[in-house]
């Protein structure tokens, strides 16, 4: 038998898609108006942006390669957020995941079929353990996870700087960068040295796994229940503290997986101070634009990757400073966050009104939505 499609969920999904499309369109329009107001030609700007992001195999490769860690960072945010936890430390978890991957990539010697999986697992483990610090502080000491994860970002950045200018610095000691990681620990390229790497497979696997876990498993149900109504979760015997802590650790593991894409792809290969390039914070924006949908992270990440890659050519050909591209990026984030806030307020109001109606008319408890 085919599963019955829930019309309420279908309408909500269609509204989410329409809202995200409207946010993107309005943000790009406002960004273009700012460019015109600054005295730059609109046509040349649009052409340069499109060419820099999608025209030519090299541009498209770079855009898709940038999309991969953005999707994974977005998934990291979603896993924690669905449990009611705010993980703003994805950037730091990417950095620490990169450190553990670098150590295994440099000092463990094994063939590709063993070395690469070990290095990827090391990256995930590093991110998970680092997120576990904030999870433990929150679960056992009541430390706000927003503050803890944010402060851990700063510690991770300083730690990476120390390593690439000290113990892990390359042999000549002229650049703040580690030695190149062994090829056996890096993702093979599709098409020679300049093509996409096989880390592209992480996107469908990660999206499918997170979506399946959230909506088709008991663990995912407990996670969503904890995020939506912690009191109800406690009432049915769910350990809110344990679920929240596990969600933060899992979020850190996905951040570490993003680090493996950044560090072990055809465009990576060595640890350096800014290898994360704020992908952790960009991933949060991706998730907000996707309205916390794992599948929606893919087109949202593609948009942000296009803004990153297309912005470089806009600066070169048109002379527009990349700060104007960052303004467009910021507009997307603000509008996405605002739309998500409004949607949650409307949902809570509608649920409150529905529960009041059910209390007044007990027969309504037979409503199929319950």
2 assigned to some structural domain: no
CATH number of residue 77's parent domain: 1.10.3470
110 vs 353 pLDDT, higher one: 110
203 assigned to some structural domain: yes
13 assigned to some structural domain: no
What are the structure tokens assigned to 304, written together?
Answer: 């942000």
311-370 tens-digit pLDDT = 777 777 777 776 777 777 677 777 777 776 676 666 666 656 655 665 665 554 444 333
9 assigned to some structural domain: no
- Angle (nearest 5°) at CA 316 between 310 and 319: 105
The rounded mean pLDDT for the chain is: 83
Within 13 A of 112's CA, how many CA atoms are on the CB side?
A: 7
For the chain, how many structural domains are there in total? 1
124 assigned to some structural domain: yes
Least trusted range by pLDDT, from 88-102, 188-202, 351-365 = 351-365
Full-model pTM: 0.85
12 assigned to some structural domain: no
Distance CA 294, CA 10 (A): 16
Domain range for 81? 18-364
82 assigned to some structural domain: yes
User: DSSP code of 228?
Assistant: H
45 assigned to some structural domain: yes
Binned at pLDDT 50, 70 and 90, residue 10 comes out as low
Q: List the one residue out of 58, 68, 55 whose CA is nearest residue 194.
A: 58
Q: How far is CA 99 from CA 72, 80, 106, 116, 190, in A?
A: 18, 23, 11, 15, 25
């Amino acid at each position: 038998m085919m599963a019955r499609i829930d019309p309420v969920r279908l309408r909500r999904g269609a509204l989410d898609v329409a809202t995200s499309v409207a946010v993107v369109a309005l943000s790009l329009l406002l960004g273009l108006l700012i460019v015109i107001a600054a005295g730059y030609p609109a046509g040349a700007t649009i052409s340069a942006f499109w060419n820099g992001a999608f025209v030519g195999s090299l541009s498209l490769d770079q855009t898709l390669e940038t999309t991969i860690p953005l999707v994974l960072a977005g998934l990291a945010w979603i896993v924690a957020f669905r449990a009611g936890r705010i993980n703003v430390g994805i950037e730091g978890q990417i950095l620490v995941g990169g450190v553990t991957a670098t150590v295994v990539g440099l000092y463990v010697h094994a063939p590709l079929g063993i070395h690469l999986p070990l290095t990827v697992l090391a990256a995930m483990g590093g991110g998970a353990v680092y997120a576990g610090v904030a999870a433990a502080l929150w679960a056992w000491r009541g430390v706000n996870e927003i503050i803890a994860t944010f402060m851990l970002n700063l510690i991770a950045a300083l730690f990476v700087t120390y390593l690439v200018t000290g113990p892990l610095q390359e042999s000549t000691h002229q650049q703040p960068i580690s030695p190149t990681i062994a090829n056996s620990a890096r993702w093979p390229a599709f098409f020679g040295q300049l093509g996409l790497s096989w880390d592209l497979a992480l996107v469908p696997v990660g999206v499918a796994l997170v979506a399946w876990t959230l909506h088709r498993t008991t663990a995912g149900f407990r996670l969503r229940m904890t995020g939506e109504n912690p009191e109800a979760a406690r009432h049915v015997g769910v350990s809110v503290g344990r679920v929240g802590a596990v969600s933060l650790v899992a979020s850190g593991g996905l951040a570490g997986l993003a680090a493996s894409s950044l560090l072990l792809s055809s465009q990576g290969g060595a640890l350096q101070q800014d290898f994360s390039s704020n992908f952790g914070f960009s991933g949060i924006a991706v998730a907000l634009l996707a309205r916390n949908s794992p599948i929606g992270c893919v087109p949202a990440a593609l948009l942000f990757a296009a803004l990153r890659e297309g912005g470089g050519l806009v600066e070169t050909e048109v002379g527009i400073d990349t700060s104007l591209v960052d303004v467009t990026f910021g507009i997307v984030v603000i509008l996405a966050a605002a739309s998500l806030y409004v949607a949650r307020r409307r949902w809570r109001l509608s649920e409150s009104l529905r529960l009041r109606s059910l209390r007044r008319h007990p027969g309504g408890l037979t409503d199929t939505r319950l």
